Amino acid sequence: MTNAQLRRVSKARPCPVCAGSHKCSLTDDGLILCGRSRADVAGFRHLGASDDPTWHLYRANTPAELADAPGAWKPAPPVPAAKPTDFPGLADRLSRKLSPTLANDLADRLGLPAACVSLLPTLGFDATAGCWTIPEHDARGTVIGIGTRYRDGSKRAVPGSRRGLVLPSGWADHPGPVLVVEGMSDAIALVHCGLCAVGRPSARGGIELLAQLLAGPIAVGRPVLVLGENDQKADGSWPGREGAAFVAAGLTKALGRAVLTACPPEQYKDAREWVIDRLKGVRSGATGHLGGDPELAVGRDIAAGMARGAAAAVAHKPAPRADRFPLPLPLDVLTTGAAGGGIPWVWDGYLMRGGVTLLSALPKCGKTTLLAHLFKTLAAGGSFCGRPLVPGRALVVSEESPAVWAERRDRIGLTGCVRLLSRPFFNRPSAEDWQAFMLHLANILASDPADLVVFDTLADLWPVKDENNATDVQGALQPVRRLADGRAVLLVHHLRKSDGGEGTGSRGSGALAGFVDVLVELRRAGRAADPGGAKRVLTAVGRATGIPPEWTVELDEDAGEYRGTDVGDPAALLTDAIRKALFAAGPDGLTFPQLREVLPAEQQRNEVKLRAVMTGGAEAGDWDREDRATRLGGPIYRVGLPQIPAGKKVVTEGVLFDDLPMLPD
């Protein structure tokens, strides 16, 4: 079958085979589709039935037989190919027809300041058609087509145009993420507010050109965000949102990096409406800004709103590449990143750059209060709880509402050094959502760095349904590691109700404790050490040197600050307390329950740790253990009496612990 154009017969041009005026067709290369004849016809070659047996195919024996037939149809003469349009030259000529009055008229129709349309240097006007002309470019900035906009709001294009990108003047010179919006008006509105924006030709169009543009130096080290529109249709579809996701997915695949999507707040259809409303609010004083140009203040506000609502595109994963993995390095070239060497602590002993810290405590023990005061000190740096704290910024992902944090901010005096991302999920996220969220945070931190990232609390944010499932826990934690590059990451978690020994108190699988670099457990101090219940004890273990085993912290309500003191080696202190108690008991010794009752409250709290020290001390010969059952509970522990110097008395009954001397080793 031929690919030539098919033409129907008519009374003026009947079928050469059957002379009929309808049902048959001819092509410009001489093929005849006859709907009446089924056999040989004089002067024509019968080629058989077509794909549809309704028609049979014929060709004339000679061209003359077609030409001489009465009223025969003749092929149209070939149309010469049109010369390609010089779109750069045409755009330049049309731009000279644009008067200031026409430019202002377009700005008024768009609802934007007149300065916005001046961002299109070759914006023009076609007086013959009565429309504005908008140049569209390829990735190199060459005009490849011209769109048209009429006074009634309709849009078309100059014949022969290819759809391209809208590149406002100086768009790439602005800081922050690269914003990919739909159309001309959104692009110029955002660039006018100091943002880096480029217009794509349609909701789903321009992926190839955008990939070429963003593969260059323009987008290096900058997040790329595709902005959709709130344009729900009667059938329930969202073309603007779905188109943004489609473009972001295509760019993710083409660029081999995560591309984000976002939408304006629900009350605005697109970015242009968002800009218009915010500019009106700033200029009328209805909403304040941070000083400087109102447009730049609006731009900062809009960029922050986009960052809060952005999500990574669920897209085709880029093909694996060997060059995306790091190469091994000799140990002698590695650096710690800290001035003068050593561990690069953000908060000395607890939060280290490049590491992940797990802070666990029972509910309502004061975890967030402690952190809020840390954030307060973080603004200027100095000392927090008696340990050095560098000045810096924090990003907090919190289970608590913005209202709770606003009250805490006003009460404690927090500053802008803290960025809050409150309740990012409506319910427990899937593993894919969690991965996308980690990419989202990584892109935020690339454009808005922080020294500390906090997840408070982990159980209310991560995708793990069974905290005792080591596989699920490890899978959720792996993406967190990438956030620690150059900064500290803090995971806030809960202790088990039954508590635990050193480094084992955290709730859930041991894979969590094994993953982190520093384990910190926050507990209330014993009643004897803190009758008012205000003191807390931080116990910590980890891979790095310089981690304090135990540190007591206390909030001074009057001064509005935390103070901290080193309580020494907790194991050594507990061992000494046990020896004093056994010395005071004399030859009768003590069972474990009896010993626990006479120890200070803060040392009898952790039964697991106490049993471990008792067993270890007996094995080391610090005291004796008689393994025989008693009514009072298990083995009896005794300590040998020390040699008493001549002339000195020791009373062993009713003696207070503080009155006993340190016993010799």
Does residue 562 sit in the same domain as residue 574? no
Per-10-residue mean pLDDT of the chain, 665 residues long, equals: 70 85 83 87 84 84 54 53 80 93 93 92 91 94 93 88 93 90 93 93 92 88 89 85 90 87 89 90 52 76 78 46 59 58 83 91 84 90 88 91 89 87 86 86 84 91 89 89 89 78 71 89 70 76 85 78 69 80 83 82 72 83 75 74 47 41 42
Does residue 194 sit in the same domain as residue 133? yes
Does residue 373 sit in the same domain as residue 507? yes
Residue 43: what pLDDT? Answer: 80
Does residue 120 sit in the same domain as residue 224? yes
Flag whether 616 is in a domain.
yes
Spatial contact of 438 and 482, defined as CB atoms under 8 Å apart:
yes
Flag whether 319 is in a domain.
no
Place of tokens 């190839």: 208
- DSSP tally for the chain: helices H, then strands E: 18, 30
Does residue 547 sit in the same domain as residue 610? no
Does residue 163 sit in the same domain as residue 213? yes
Going along 364-425, which residue ranges are E strands?
382-384, 387-389, 394-398, 418-422
Question: Which residue type is seen at 57?
Answer: L
* CA 73 centroid distance within chain: 67
Flag whether 585 is in a domain.
yes
Flag whether 326 is in a domain.
no
Q: Give the Cα separation of 639 and 583 in Å (integer).
A: 6
Q: How does DSSP classify residue 79?
A: P
Give the C-alpha distances (Å, rounded to integers) separating 410 from 364, 385, 423, 486, 555.
Answer: 20, 21, 20, 30, 17
CATH number for 485: 3.40.50.300
414 Cβ neighbours under 8 A, 6+ residues apart = 372, 375, 376, 408
470 Cβ neighbours under 8 A, 6+ residues apart = 509, 510, 511
Does residue 171 sit in the same domain as residue 56? no
Q: Give the Cα separation of 93 and 87 in Å (integer).
A: 10
pLDDT tens digits, 375-405? 999 988 888 888 899 999 999 999 988 889 9
Torsion angle of the four alpha carbons 323, 326, 332, 333, in this order, in degrees rounded to the nearest 10: 70
Residue 165: what pLDDT? Answer: 95
Q: Where are the alpha helices (DSSP H) in 180-328?
A: 184-192, 207-214, 239-255, 271-284, 294-309
Q: Give the Cα separation of 289 and 304 in Å (integer).
A: 13
Flag whether 321 is in a domain.
no
Q: Give the Cα separation of 26 and 608 in Å (integer).
A: 96
Does residue 534 sit in the same domain as residue 579? no
Residue 657: what pLDDT? Answer: 40
- pTM value is 0.46
Phi, psi of 85 (to 5 degrees): -70, 135
**Could you tell me the residue range of the domain that residue 25 belongs to?**
6-68
pLDDT tens digits, 436-460? 888 888 888 887 889 999 999 898 8
Spatial contact of 506 and 512, defined as CB atoms under 8 Å apart:
yes
Residue 602: what pLDDT? Answer: 66
Burial class (CB in 10 A: 0-12, 13-18, 19+), 600: middle
Burial class (CB in 10 A: 0-12, 13-18, 19+), 73: buried
DSSP string for 507-547: SS-HHHHHH-SEEEEEEEPPTTT-TTS-EEEEEEEESSS--
Last residue of a domain, one of 295, 312, 329: 312
Does residue 503 sit in the same domain as residue 633? no
Residue 279: what pLDDT? Answer: 86
**Domains of the chain: total:** 4
Residue 134: what pLDDT? Answer: 95
Flag whether 337 is in a domain.
no
Flag whether 506 is in a domain.
yes
CATH number for 624: 1.10.10.10
Does residue 605 sit in the same domain as residue 560? no
Residue 631: what pLDDT? Answer: 55
Spatial contact of 211 and 200, defined as CB atoms under 8 Å apart:
no
Element spanning 146, H or E: strand 143-150
Q: Give the Cα separation of 91 and 221 in Å (integer).
A: 34
Does residue 539 sit in the same domain as residue 642? no
**Sign of the CA dihedral with 491 first, then 496, 501, and 504 last:** negative
Flag whether 335 is in a domain.
no
